[in-house]
Each structure stands twice: as C-alpha cells, then as structure tokens.
Structure 1
Amino acid sequence: MYNTKRGLKISSVAQSHFLFIIMILFVMFIVGCQTNQSSYQKVESADQLKTALAVANPGDTIVLANGEWKDAELVIQANGTKEAPIVVMAEKLGEVKLTGSSNLKLAGEFVVVNGLHFTKGYTPTAEVISFRIKKDQLANNCRITETLIDNYSNPERHESDYWVGMYGKNNRFDHNALVGKGNKGVTMAVRLNSEESLENGHLIDHNYFGPRENLGANGGETLRIGTSHYSLSFSNTQVINNYFDRCDGEHEIISNKSCGNLFKGNVFEECVGTLTFRHGNENTAESNAFFGNGKPHTGGIRVINEKQKVINNYGYGLTGHRFRGALVVMNGVPNSPINRYNQVIDSEINNNTFINCDYVQLCAGSDEERSAIPQTTSISNNIFWNEAKDDVFTVYDDISGISFDANILSKNIESIGSGFSAVNTELVQNEKGIYSLKDESITAGTTSEFAVVSKEATGPSWYTKPKQAKTFGYGRTIAVAAGEDLFDVMKDAKAGDVYTLSGDEYLLEKKIPVAVPITVQSKEGAVIKFEKSNLFVIENGGALQLDGLIIDGAECPDYAGNAVVSTSRYSMNRNYKLFINNCEFRDLDVNHSFNILKVYKNTFADSILIENSRFTDVSGTILELNQESDDIGIYNAEFVILTNNTFKNIGKEIVNLHRGGSDESTFGPLLFIDHCSFEKVGYGPKNKGEKSFTLHGVQKTKITNSVFDDIKTFDIYHTVGEPITKISDCSMKQSTLKISDQAALLSNLKLAKDANGSDGEKVGYKL
C-alpha cells in the first residue's frame, strides 16, 4: 500500500495495526454517543430526586411530578456543562407545589431549576432557596427560572429568614416572582461571605418582586447585595429589567452594600423607599423608572459613598422626604466605620428626569456625627419639574463640594444657585406614559430612547400578578336580624363581606374572630353589647371596619383589661387595618383599664382611622399602641388618624404610641388629629403616669383645629431621625403640653386661663 502523496510503502503488519486502531476509535465513538445521550426521568419525592441526581449526566432532564410536595427539602447537587446543563423542572410549570416545611438547596455546575411553586408554609432553615448546600458546596453557572415564592412566611413576624440566597459565581435568577414576604429578613440577598462568592457576576433579571408590607422595623429590604462587612469588596452583580411592585418593607427597597454593581432598566411602582447605595463604591443606577403616582413616602435613589453613577433615571410622583426623597445625597461620617456612612466623593448624577416629585434632599442626615459633606460630585443635565411645589430642594449643609450644571427647572421652583435654568415649556407624555419637555431643544433629562421593562415581561409566564385590591366592601352583603347570633353568622366570613345590622340590640356571648377583612355596619344605630373581655379579635390576615354602631360596655365582665377590639395574642406576619366611622362607644367603665383597642407584641397596624365618632366614659386607653418596648426601632402602627371625634371622661390616654431605639430604617409612626375635642382625659385611678397622650418617638405629629379641656399631660418625646410636630389652631384649657425638644412648630395655639385665673403657661405648657 502506498501513500500517493509521499510515495511511502506501508507494510501489511502496519496496515493491520492501522485498521485495528480505526475499529477501536469507532467503538469508542459509539459508546461515547450512547453515554452522552440525554435521559428523561420523572420523580415523585425528594428521595427519588436524590437517586436520580446521583446518576445524572450532562444534558439529562429530571421532571418533578405535579402535585403537593409537603415538607420536601430538595437538595440538588449535580454537574452539567455549558452546552448540556442538567435540568430539574416541574412536570407542568407552577403545578409542583412545595408546602409546609419545604426548601431548595442547589450546588454544582450548570444546573437549571424550572417552574417550582412555594406556598402555604415556610422554610425550616435560613433560606427558602439557597445557591449552596454547605459553606463549601456552592452553585456556579446555575440558573433558577419560572419559580414562584408566594406568602411563604414564617408566622413569627420578627423571626428572620431569606427567601433567596445567592452564593458562588455566574448564577442567574430570572423570570421568577417573590410575593408577600411578611416576616423579618431580606426577600433576596446576594451573599459575599467567602472568597468563592466575591466578584460573582450574578445576573438577576426579569423578576417580579411583588407587594411587601411595611415591616415596621429594620430588616424589610426586598433585595440586598452584600453586607457592611464585605462592602468594600466587588460583587459585580447585574440587576436588570426587574419589576418592583409596592415593595414597602422599609426605607431601602434595594440595599446595595458592595462594589461594582449595575442596576438598569428596573421599574419601581409605588414603592415606599429607595434604591439605596448604602455601602460600597463604583455602583451604577442607569435607566430605571420610579413611579410613585402620589402615594405617600415613595422614593427614588439615595446616594452614599464614592464613585457612584446615577444616570438616565426617571421619577414620577414621588412624595417621600428625608431618606425617601426622589433624589437623596447624604452627608457622611468623617473616617467612617465600615458600617456607618462613608462620604459621597467623585459621584455623578446626570441626565435624570424628575416629574412632580416633592423632595430633592442634599446633604441629608447632616448632624454632629454625619458632618462630612459631599465632595467632587456633579449634578448636571437633570430635569426637576413640579409646577405645584416651589420648595423642591432641601439643603441641610454645605453644598460647595457639588457642582451643578445645565439643570432644568419648572419656572416656579426656587433655585439653589447657579447651574439651574427655569424654562417656560410644557410636559408631553408618550405612549408608554413617560413625560418629557415639549421643547425639543432641551437636551437635559433622560434620553429620547428611554424605555424600561413592562410588568408583563417579568415573572413566571404562568403566574397572574396581584392587582391593587380593596380592603373593605367588595364581598357579600349579609343582613343580620336582631334575633340572630352575630358570632354564628360571621364564622364563615369571606374577605370583603359586609354585615348589615338593624336598629335593634345585639348581645354577644362569644368573641368574634376577624381573620379576613370585614365590615360591620348599621344605618339605624344598632346597639352591640358583649359578655366576653373582647368583642372583636383581629387575627392574622384580618381587618375590621365599623360604621354606624353603638358599642355599650354594660354587660362586660367586671374585670380589668377588657377591650372592644384586640389583636391576636400571637405574632401576626400580616398587617391589619382598623377603620371606625360614625360610631358611639359608651359605658366602658365596668372596671379599670377598659380599652377601645388593645394590641400585642409582634402585631402591626398599617392604618387606624377613627372619624365622626363619640367616646364617653372609657376607663382605659382609646388606642394602646405601646407593646414594642424593646427600643430597637419596632412599633405597633404606621398611620393613626383621628378626625372629627369627641372624647369625654377617658381614664387613661387617648393614644399611647411608642417607637424606641435609634434605628433609622423605618419612617413611622405618624399621627394626625383634626377637629377633635378632648374633655377630662387621664383622670383614671390607674393612670399612674398621669398622661392624656404619650407619643414616644413618633416621627410625624400633626394636630389641627382641636380643643383640649382639662386633660392630663400631653407628652411628646422626640427621639431618632428628624421628627416633626406641628400643632396649629388648637385651644388648651387647664391642660399641660410637654415636648422634649424645640422641634415642634406651634401656630395659633391658644392657652386658656384655668379656673384659678392663672394663665396656660403656668398650668404646665412646656417646650
């Protein structure tokens, strides 16, 4: 045999060896093809999944059978390849329901998890989904997609856990939904607590971060990247095209605590809080949209630390102030410890647009500690437009370290110096609802190509996102005759039901549990008496509206500590509402300390509204909201609103509202009183503090058009933050007002003479 190209002769022996090698290679090819052939296997339990993973090869698919997987702790350890990942997926997306004490731990290389649904339970460990099994078993190049975690919250409100913890490198979390976290702890966290998780290059994209209620404490962030301990390390995480919908957990919707991260193309819809560069340097917020739509306390971007970039973002209808402003540039702490506030240096805030946003806060947080003003930072080519508000800018300290250039204002806004130009033009709105200036010669603000992700493009394809639902009045209307037992009628209550009572008398022998939002009303003034210590008990998930009722305490047990309404004695991880309108409360004095509302620790009212109502002869407190006494920034209610009510002969306080500690991660509580009258308050024999109101750490108090006649000390004690107390157009007779500092704004406050002829100041008015 000859090689025709080279003319070399091959012996017969060599020829045989050559043919043998060809045969061996052919056999190896066939075996290799069989070995690498993808397999499909269906499993029905965590144990079967473990067995299947033990023999899984790159390209294999393991299918989890539809149905309920109760108390299923899934552990996925596998190694695929970039071209042939190992896939673990639901038989039908969303139909594998992990309930009870279930969770997922993932480690290895190139694994994809698809289509799970966590519901009706909570994780037995620190995380629902973890991109690691143990500290030394991390996930790299792995992906979780099309997965939902829905109200999967620990029942203990302040028992902390994460829903998602990302570790390792180059992982992707996309097209998932995280909705309704009710207990303490970050919804999703990128962890940098080992060398193997630094400079991770994770991608978090196209996820739907659904509503999260106000936690009323620190620890309610929706997304956190890093911690203060690792804040000077680079994470290099990309957060792109996600939708944050009503994420109200605390001040920081996103808490950035590391370096080199990118936040781009995300939407924040009616979120109470900000995207916060809390720690770390060289981070970028680019082309994000913040739609406040006038909702109270909605915010934009808060800047701290060095070399941050805020570019081409859009804010609309943001109302938050102080740390929740549309744009907040903080003061720092000189030589700051790693967990405090580093000075803003070499940062850029350029080409952003803020439409109808109320507050831009510069040098925010300035105090004796936070005295390091921003340096070598530019704010240029931005649009600040609000025709309804002149004082958009608040300057707390020296802004000489900030350069301002080519910024555009609506003609009414008060400028803070050079670098701002007021223009006379109009707003125009495009088909996607984004406003810009009609004058096309103006080049400031977001680019003409500005676009962000739609809500429909985020989250699992199979998941229907929650709408903004009413709290009360959308269910059945049920008439209850006088002879019927209200307890029996209401035991099968559905959310939104309305119970209508006649004008007769109703006597309750049992407490009525309120586990869903309900309304109890009477157009004819029904009288309700009750024989237990409480009339209504608001349980987790409940909310109560009372309208047109007369609540009479004549039949209540002769014991101390009765209450018309009580919260659950147990921790509630859902916030409640209590609305009272046009009601009368009388003869609640069978024994001392008979309250209108009694709350327990680890419960939280989103809002308490009392209007057009009358309270007479109540031996206890109207609203006792002081059970979070650990002084760590936790409190019992956010909004407390009293409008057009009368209070007479009340034994203890009208409101006892407490928020202690020095934490600044929350905004409330807030108290508003308007057109109310208070007569003879605080004279009960068990009112040892001799107070008519006790407001400790309330962040905003506004009292207007009200009369205070013969009340014990009205005690206002300011603590952390920048508390605001405004009292205007009020009259005080034989009454004492005590405020702990000079922060109160008092206007047209009339201090009438008492019966002995001394003036109001001598009676005890103090600042």
Structure 2
Amino acid sequence: MRLLKGFLLNICLALLLLPLSVTVFATEYFVESQDDYKAISSTLVAGDKIILKNGVWTDFEILLEGQGRAEAPITLTAETKGQVILSGLSNLRLAGQFLTVSGLVFKNGTTPSSAVIEFRKNSDELAFHSRVTEVVIDNYNNPDKQESDYWVAMYGQHNRLDHGHFVGKRNKGVTIAVRLNSEQSQQNYHRIDHNYFGYRPTFGSNGGETLRIGTSHYSLTDSYTLVENNYFEHTNGEVEIISVKSGKNTLRGNVFFEARGTLTLRHGNGNIVEQNIFLGNGVEHTGGIRVINKDQVIRNNYLQGLKGYRFGSGFTVLNGVPDSSINRYHQVENAHIVNNSFIDVDHIHLAAGSDAERTAVPINSVMKDNLIINTDNQQPFSLFDDVSGIKLSGNVANTQVPAALSSGVKRQDVAVKKAKTGLLYPVTDKLNAGATRDLKVLAKQETGVSWYPKLPGVVAFDSGQTHRVKSGAKALLAAIDNAADGDVILLANGQYTVSKLIKIDKTLTIKAAQAGQAQLTFERSALFEIRDGGSLKLDGLTISGANSPDAAGNTVVRTQKWGMVDNYRFVMLNSHILQLDINHSFDFFATGKGAFADEISLIGNTFEDVSGDVLRLNTEIEDLGIYNAEYVRVKNNSFNNVQGAVVKLYRGGTDESTFGPHLVMADNTLNQVGHGKRNKNKSSLYLHGVQVADILQNMLVRSAPISIELTVGEPVTVIKGNIFDSTPPPTVIELRVKGPHTALVEDNKTVNTEKR
C-alpha cells in the first residue's frame, strides 16, 4: 500500500510539473535555409521559437504547425523585423493551436496557392488561438489580373490579425477574407485590429474588396468577428471596401480616409457598426455605410466630406427582394440608425435600388438623433420608394428635407466648430443629435508597423528631376533609360526619328522645351508602349506617323497587349498629331486586353488625318462588368479628318459594383470625324455602359453622330450646349430598362451649313 501511494504521489508531481518541463525544454532555432526549416518544422512543441535569418527567401512555402499553449506559443519571427523578405512563389500557412508569426515581408512575387497567408494547412487542419502580427504584404500580385487570390484567408476560431501593412493588391480577389465554409470556422470570434490598409487601385470590375467577412452561402451564419481600429487609406478597389456577409460582427473605431466605396452590410443579420470615422475630403465616390438585412445597428459614427452616390453614397438603406434567395437582397428590418453625424455628406439614399425586383421596402426600423449638416445648404436625402417603415425622431438638419421625413427631422441652423480631434461638433452642447464628443480618431501611425514606410500609392507626374536632352533619338532613348519615377525628359528643338519601340515602365513626362518644336517620328508599329509600372505624360510635342510601317493597325501609344496588372495613366497636352494614315486602322491610342487606366486625358491637342480611332478603349467585350479606363477626359482639342471615332469606350455586363467608366468631352471641335468604312459603329463618339458622361459645348462639323448605349446602374449622361453642324443629332438607347432613356439632352443646336 505504501508503495502504491508513493507511485501515485510521483505521478501527481509529474503531472503538476509537466507544463514547466515543456517550457524548460522549449528550443530557439536560428534558421538559415529552407532545408533547415523543413528539418525542424515537424518537431515543434509549445514554447519553441524559430528565427529566420535576414535576407531574401525565394519560393519559400512556410507551414507552421504545432500545439502551442496560451502561455507558451510556438513562434516564427524575423531576425530583424522587416529584413526577412519572402519573394517569388512564397506563402505562409498556420495549423494547430497558439501559433504566432511576426516581422515578415512579402514582396516581389505572388502566392503559389489561393492565399498569401492562410490560417489552415488544408480543409481539415485549421489554426486556432493563433496570431499573425506585424507582417507586410506589398504589391504581391498574380501577374494575371483576373486570377483571383486572397492575401490573408482566416479560418478556424479565435485568431488575430493585427498591426499588418497591406498595400497594392492589384489582381482579383479580396485582400482579407474571413472564411466560414466549415463549422470549425463559424462563430469564430476572430479579431482584426490595428492594420494599415493602404492604396488598393480601382479594379475596374467586381472582385476588389479590401475586407470580406463570410460569403452569401453562409450569410445566415454568425461569425462574431471584431474589426476595430484599422486604417483604410485610398482603398479604391470597388464599391464595397468592407463586405459583411455574415452575422453578429462588430466593426468599430476604424478610419476610412479618402477611400472610394462603402462599408457594406451586404448579407447577414445583427451586425454592429459604431464609432467609425469616414473622411472623404471631397474625393469622388467616397462613401460611408450601406445597410441591408435584419437587426443592424449603426450608431455613433462620424461621416464627413463624402461625395459618393447611389450604392456608394454617404449613407444608404437599400430595398430588398421579396422572399429573397440567400445571395440577393434581404429586406431591411429592425435597423437602428442612431446618433451618427453626417457633415457635408452629399447623398443619403433611403429605399435605394428600388426596381421591379427590389420592391421590399425597409420596415420596423428607427433613425433617430442623427445630425445632418451640409455647409452648401443642399439637402442630401433621396427617397426611392416608401420609407414609412423607417421611424424618424430627434434628427436635426440645417436644411429642409423631403416632406416624408419632415416630422422626424428638425430644421435648425447649427454652428459647428472643430475639436482637437479635427472633427466638427455643434458649438452648443444642448443637442442630443450626432456622434458623441469623445470619439477617438485613430492616427495612421498607430496602425501597421513602424519599420515599413506608408508611401503614396501613385507617383505624381513631374515630381522628380528634369533631364535636358539634345535633339536625336539616341539621346532621347538614353534619357528614358536613365530616368527615375516622376522624372521629366525635356526635349530640345529638333527632329527625333525613333527606330525602336519605347517601353514605358515608370512614371515619366516627355516635354518639348518649346511647344511644337520637338518633332517625333517612328519606324515601328508603335512609338510608345506602356507596361506594368508605367505612366506617360506628353506635352508640347509634334508626332507624325509618316515614317511608320505601311501596314494596318499601327498606333502611336499602346499598352502592352496583354497581362498588365498595374493601373496606368496617360496624359497628353498641347501636342500636334498628324499623318496617322499611311494605312488603314492607324489609331492614336489603343488599349490591350486587361489593361486598366486610372486616367486618360487629352487636353489642348490637334489631330489631323487619322485612319483609325483616337482613343480605342473597347477590348473588354465579354460583358463581365470589366472595362478599360476609369476617367477619360477629352477637352479643348481639334480633330480633323478622323475616320474612326474620337473615343470608343465600352463596359458590358450587369454588375453594379464599379464606379465608372467616366467620360468628360468638352469644348472640342470635330471636323469630318467618324465616316471611315471600317468604323463599324458609324459614330464620332461611341459609349456603351458608361456610368457618367458629360458631353458639353463641342462643335461637330460634317461628322458622324454621337452614339450612346445605356446599360446597368443609374447612368448619368448629359449632352448639353453642343453644335451639330451638318451632323446628325446624338442617339441614346436604353438597352436594359424599359421606358425612355434617362440622358439629359438640352440646349444643343443643329445647323446645316452645307446647304448655305
């Protein structure tokens, strides 16, 4: 008996000492190669620490798995934070319990799998109670822009993603995705906090969200994900910056700075959106919050300077679909919209999206104690259907509001002043309306990492050095090779006969020292080709196609023909383009398939004798909501004897998640434009699916008509103040909505001087 008691005592003592012994035997590994890592990766125990040697690790697929403990996690980190670079085909997967990764940088490559970082090994082995902190993913993109992947995919439960730096996602796919596609990943209680989400360029179709929680398939499932104290700067991918597609999530304390799009409660019920700051600073398409589904709480948020409209407006309550399928629009019910401040928010849309399908108006909802101040005295509300299901009370606005809202919105002049946080509050403290005065405005430097710079997403033209070039193609080509991003190549007077294709892979300005006195001709099928990383500005040049090959399909400027992942810009000012007619279909500018321009601008130029189109932006013809340019600006130009169109701009499909395309065509003269036999559209300007078009004060003489085809969304088209001389009037066709078109066509003049 005594021996048995002693044995049991020893067993008890061993069990008590077990956690200590595991910690005592924990090991720190300094790993210098992938082979070294593989040798230890299957033997890791609680408390182990792996340190990766500083340097560039190429094609390194890291799997961190093991069973750590709360007080003794298994840790993977860098020798020096920020100096371990994962490049090429590299990724990171975590599987097990209590794992921590920190200090890594992913750049100059792409993931070989579906995500750069995954909180799982495979569909059965997930991560729990694990953390990825102080990790950078910088422009780590698949070279095929339409190939979809995630940068971070969160599976499992009780995981944390914090103090990360995520900038420059350019290919299709959500930057951060919370996945609910198994029971082990539902009701997950993940935490996403203190991350810096930097520039995400406009994607030009669906698939550009920065954060998504769930999917429509699991939208009636609760996630309990907490998204707090993150900074979203210029996250412009598409109309949904955050897409919530699950229930019981909390989004609070986040800052959205000049971010185009909205925080969208797309699917799922019972989410809380509170204490968030939206600062648009008057940037186009900056939005706030879009509300769909049941039991949503939107309280104590501050929204200022937002210009977005429709689904991307400063605040939107959407109509639903009766008996909606799980992937459509569920009716808004029991929404609580309380104590929010809307300062200089252009648009607040209620019952938005009302159409033949979306007929279920908001019901049993409350909108109270909100403050609405517009310093331009323009009231922001638009009502698209019956809003009697939203009970308004205690709201204060400094403008008159629609009659249907007036009983719940008090009209009152409210003086505001700036607090130390930079937010505007009423001078009087007697108002109960609006956000509380103790709102914290998260500073950008409080997010991400301190050891990696938060740089602007786009290099500005003319922001670098100026290189003066003597006449001659050799000197021009050498200067381009030696230039850096943002530099200016200043050309002396003279002739530049270029025998090579000039490939532009940096932000560059090529300018004549004296306007019109630097003359360029070229002997290849194109003069300039814009490639990934490239943007081009031309100023004061004379460009002739006289020396181009006698073949069809030449261009002055083109993008690379396929495979671009970076957005680009093209601007041309005060230049003279002539003799683009050595053969047929000689275009001035032609886009490759998949290329996307943030901006294409032609201002103050003269075009003469063009056998093709001036701007051919119509390669995305599969009708998938994809298009080639966000902003096209054509102002104060002269077009003479152009056989094609000045602009062909196409966006097909039914997707409603994009902002553009946008076109401004103003103060131009078109003389004998559009009559070429190969101009299939028989138009001087051809627009299909363009969301915003302003065609103002142009003169068209003996030219083909303007042709506009309206498709999805609520396109805004204005044709005003133009003169059509011996030119047919514009044609506007509504392709998808019954009834007359919505374009504003007014104050135009039609004359016929040919008969005089």
Q: Deviations over 1:546-604 (max 9, x none)?
A: 11111111111111111110001121111100111111111111111111101111100
- Cα offset, 1:157, TM superposition: 0.9
Matched, 1:645 2:632: no
* 1:605 corresponding residue in structure 2: 597
* 1:659 corresponding residue in structure 2: 651
* 1:423 corresponding residue in structure 2: 412
Q: Deviations over 1:627-661 (max 9, x none)?
A: 01110100000000111111111010110000000
1:572 aligned residue (541, 564, 567): 564
1:436 aligned residue (425, 441, 456): 425
- Cα offset, 1:430, TM superposition: 1.2
DSSP-derived class of the 1:550 partner: strand
* 2:94 corresponding residue in structure 1: 106
The answer (yes or no) to whether the contact 1:287–1:452 under 8 Å persists in 2 is no
Counterpart of 1:456 in structure 2: which amino acid?
Answer: Q
- Cα offset, 1:53, TM superposition: 3.2
Matched, 1:476 2:475: no
Q: Distance in 2 between matches of 1:683 and 1:559?
A: 21
* 1:378 corresponding residue in structure 2: 366
Counterpart of 1:733 in structure 2: which amino acid?
Answer: D
Matched, 1:718 2:706: no
* 1:764 corresponding residue in structure 2: none
Q: Deviations over 1:427-486 (max 9, x none)?
A: 211122111111211111001111132211111232221236542111121111113512
DSSP-derived class of the 1:716 partner: strand
Distance 1:23 1:532, change over 3 A: closer
Distance 1:22 1:372, change over 3 A: closer
* 1:740 corresponding residue in structure 2: 733
State the identity as a percent. 44
Distance 1:22 1:398, change over 3 A: closer
* 1:303 corresponding residue in structure 2: 291
Count how many residue pairs are aligned between Structure 1 and Structure 2. Answer: 744
Q: Distance in 2 between matches of 1:31 and 1:393?
A: 65
* 1:751 corresponding residue in structure 2: 750
1:461 aligned residue (424, 431, 450): 450
* 1:51 corresponding residue in structure 2: 39
The answer (yes or no) to whether the contact 1:520–1:547 under 8 Å persists in 2 is yes
Q: Distance in 2 between matches of 1:372 and 1:31?
A: 61
Q: Distance in 2 between matches of 1:355 and 1:413?
A: 15
- Cα offset, 1:39, TM superposition: 2.0
Counterpart of 1:515 in structure 2: which amino acid?
Answer: D
Counterpart of 2:504 in structure 1: which amino acid?
Answer: V
Distance 1:30 1:505, change over 3 A: same
DSSP-derived class of the 1:299 partner: strand
DSSP-derived class of the 1:260 partner: coil
Q: Deviations over 1:682-734 (max 9, x none)?
A: 12232233221110000011111111111113110000000111111111122
Q: Distance in 2 between matches of 1:167 and 1:30?
A: 33
Counterpart of 1:670 in structure 2: which amino acid?
Answer: H
Unaligned runs of 5+ in 1: 1-12, 758-767
* 1:520 corresponding residue in structure 2: 510
* 2:737 corresponding residue in structure 1: none
DSSP-derived class of the 1:52 partner: helix
* 1:199 corresponding residue in structure 2: 187
* 1:679 corresponding residue in structure 2: 671
Q: Distance in 1 between matches of 2:714 and 2:202?
A: 20
* 2:493 corresponding residue in structure 1: 503
Q: Distance in 1 between matches of 2:409 and 2:22?
A: 69
Q: Deviations over 1:505-540 (max 9, x none)?
A: 111111111000000001322111111111110000
The answer (yes or no) to whether the contact 1:389–1:413 under 8 Å persists in 2 is no
Distance 1:752 1:106, change over 3 A: same
Distance 1:125 1:32, change over 3 A: closer
Q: Distance in 1 between matches of 2:150 and 2:585?
A: 40
DSSP-derived class of the 1:255 partner: strand
Counterpart of 2:704 in structure 1: which amino acid?
Answer: K
The answer (yes or no) to whether the contact 1:538–1:567 under 8 Å persists in 2 is yes
Distance 1:242 1:32, change over 3 A: closer
The answer (yes or no) to whether the contact 1:246–1:272 under 8 Å persists in 2 is yes
The answer (yes or no) to whether the contact 2:69–2:98 under 8 Å persists in 1 is yes
Counterpart of 1:579 in structure 2: which amino acid?
Answer: V
1:237 aligned residue (225, 241, 258): 225
Matched, 1:594 2:586: yes
- Cα offset, 1:747, TM superposition: 2.0
Counterpart of 2:533 in structure 1: which amino acid?
Answer: G
Distance 1:708 1:55, change over 3 A: same
- Cα offset, 1:77, TM superposition: 1.2
Answer with 1 or 2: which has the greater Rg: 1
1:149 aligned residue (137, 143, 146): 137
Matched, 1:36 2:23: yes
Q: Distance in 2 between matches of 1:171 and 1:19?
A: 43
DSSP-derived class of the 1:711 partner: coil
1:551 aligned residue (534, 543, 550): 543
Moved more, 446-455 or 405-414: 405-414
Distance 1:84 1:675, change over 3 A: same
The answer (yes or no) to whether the contact 1:531–1:556 under 8 Å persists in 2 is yes
Matched, 1:286 2:274: yes
Matched, 1:403 2:395: no
DSSP-derived class of the 1:418 partner: helix
- Cα offset, 1:754, TM superposition: 5.9
Q: Any residues of structure 2 matched to 1:347-358 within 5 Å, and which?
A: 347-358=335-346
Counterpart of 2:687 in structure 1: which amino acid?
Answer: L
Q: Distance in 2 between matches of 1:645 and 1:307?
A: 54
Q: Distance in 2 between matches of 1:714 and 1:381?
A: 49
The answer (yes or no) to whether the contact 1:90–1:96 under 8 Å persists in 2 is yes
Q: TM-score, normalised by structure 1?
A: 0.94
Distance 1:194 1:543, change over 3 A: same
Q: Deviations over 1:396-421 (max 9, x none)?
A: 11111111111111246666421111
Counterpart of 1:503 in structure 2: which amino acid?
Answer: N
1:636 aligned residue (615, 620, 628): 628
* 2:71 corresponding residue in structure 1: 83
Q: Distance in 1 between matches of 2:125 and 2:591?
A: 45
The answer (yes or no) to whether the contact 2:199–2:456 under 8 Å persists in 1 is no
- Cα offset, 1:352, TM superposition: 0.4
The answer (yes or no) to whether the contact 1:387–1:413 under 8 Å persists in 2 is no
Distance 1:64 1:295, change over 3 A: same
Moved more, 286-295 or 76-85: 76-85
Matched, 1:326 2:314: yes
The answer (yes or no) to whether the contact 2:377–2:398 under 8 Å persists in 1 is no
The answer (yes or no) to whether the contact 1:169–1:197 under 8 Å persists in 2 is yes
Q: Distance in 1 between matches of 2:90 and 2:712?
A: 40
DSSP-derived class of the 2:286 partner: coil
Counterpart of 1:744 in structure 2: which amino acid?
Answer: A
Q: Distance in 2 between matches of 1:199 and 1:24?
A: 38
Counterpart of 1:102 in structure 2: which amino acid?
Answer: S
The answer (yes or no) to whether the contact 2:66–2:95 under 8 Å persists in 1 is yes
Q: Distance in 1 between matches of 2:190 and 2:6?
A: 50
DSSP-derived class of the 2:684 partner: strand
Q: Deviations over 1:60-108 (max 9, x none)?
A: 2111111111000001111011121111111111111100000011100
Matched, 1:173 2:172: no
The answer (yes or no) to whether the contact 1:608–1:639 under 8 Å persists in 2 is yes
Counterpart of 1:382 in structure 2: which amino acid?
Answer: N
DSSP-derived class of the 2:616 partner: strand
Q: TM-score, normalised by structure 2?
A: 0.96
Counterpart of 1:112 in structure 2: which amino acid?
Answer: T
Distance 1:42 1:563, change over 3 A: same
Counterpart of 2:503 in structure 1: which amino acid?
Answer: P
* 2:617 corresponding residue in structure 1: 625
Q: Deviations over 1:273-294 (max 9, x none)?
A: 0000011111111000011001
- Cα offset, 1:123, TM superposition: 0.3
* 2:173 corresponding residue in structure 1: 185
